[in-house]
Amino acid sequence: MAEGAQLNQAGAGQRYEVFHIDCPARDVVDHVTSRWGTWVLIALRSNDLRFYELRDGIRGISEKMLAQTLRALVQDGLVWRKVEPTTPPQVTYGLTEFGRDIGEPLTELFDRITRRLSPRGAGQG
**Average pLDDT, integer, range 60-87:** 96
Q: Is there a domain that residue 116 lies in?
A: no
CA torsion through residues 55, 58, 63, 69, sign: negative
CATH number, domain with residue 63: 1.10.10.10
> How many domains, the chain?
1
Q: Is there a domain that residue 7 lies in?
A: no
Residue 69: closest CA among 48, 43, 100, 87? 43
Q: Is there a domain that residue 1 lies in?
A: no
Find all residues with CB under 8 Å of 59, minimum gap 6, and list them. Answer: none
Q: Does pTM surpass 0.75? A: yes
Three-class SS state of 88: coil
Q: What is the domain extent for residue 37? A: 33-109
Q: How do residues 12-67 score in pLDDT, each as one tens digit?
A: 457 778 788 888 888 888 889 888 999 999 999 999 999 999 999 999 999 999 99
Q: Is there a domain that residue 56 lies in?
A: yes
Q: Is there a domain that residue 115 lies in?
A: no
Q: Is there a domain that residue 71 lies in?
A: yes
The more confidently predicted of residues 14 and 98 is 98
Q: Is there a domain that residue 14 lies in?
A: no
Alpha carbon 81 to its chain's center: 13
Mean pLDDT of the chain: 85
Q: Is there a domain that residue 11 lies in?
A: no
